Amino acid sequence: MRDRPIVPEGPPVDDAFHKSILDNLYDGVYYVDRDRRITYWNRGAQRISGYSSGEVIGHRCQDELLMHVDDSGRLLCGDVCPLAETMSDGVLREKAIWLHHRDGHRVPVQVRAAPIRDESGHIVGGVEIFSDNSEHTETRRRLEDLERLALLDAVTGLGNRHYLETWLGTRLDEMARYGWVFGVLFCDIDGFKAVNDAHGHDVGDAVLRMIATTMQHALRGGDVVGRWGGEEFVAVVTHTDPAGMAATAERLRALAQRSALYVEAGAVRVTLSIGATLAMPGDSTEALVARADGLMYQSKSAGRNRVTLG
């Protein structure tokens, strides 16, 4: 994080009553001036993003803060920023995007941007309201079940290998009975040993949590991701087809690439190599995972940070 600059003038929140209302909203709310420097940050914004008002006031989103991206990982803080566009033409905008959490992972949010005008009607800044777009209810219920059954990975908070094997067995049974197609993504963090060697295992564990949380947010409520072991993760994508598998895998890859953990030595970034495959009649859990694992190694051999579908 850069040294905190002098706070610029911008749209104020002077009224204590109105400020109290904003601070007690569940959604995040922040104001920016014409230069898109943040002048107000409510408690909801802190809850969703992890950043306190003291860490963001006077900064811009792209100053190693929220760094909004779309599903493909494209950075939106340049010419395609919804808030910048709104301040340019005065038209309200709403968009589903991903923000960068203080802990490094990506969080899906629904943003609504509006211009702020002075008494003469001139646009002097903008306001963005953002709400958490995660499917938290299903995730919380699943995690409670896993914890009770001792199927939770202690480092990442995801299901562990035993849980994944059980889940895959159930999905294979369903496919045999009802024809419900599903797929597996085998994901490996590229260069993870170098992270541990350079920064130590505490940072390595934080990187595992960052990637785990980003992947968890990037999946639908009915899909599952767990830690297979080491720096390997397995995601099970239900009711899908080759195009859906490819899109899901690419979303995970792009969002992982756009995640970053900030430590004293600077930003720690990693990428994912992913193997993606659909389950086939007659597959066992071992055969299915082995096939996805082999495709992941093809991604490694082809240069890493890519998806191989097979």
CA-based end-to-end distance of the chain = 42
Burial grade of 20 (CB within 10 A; 0-12, 13-18, 19 or more) = exposed
Which residue type is seen at 6?
I
CB-based contact 303:228 (threshold 8 Å): no
CB-based contact 65:51 (threshold 8 Å): yes
CB-based contact 58:38 (threshold 8 Å): yes
Which candidate in 94, 231, 250, 286 is catalytic?
Answer: 231
* Matching residue, tokens 């350079």: 198
Apex 40 CA angle, 35 and 206, nearest 5 = 95
Annotation marks residue 94 as catalytic: no
CB-based contact 215:242 (threshold 8 Å): no
Q: Which positions are catalytic?
A: 231
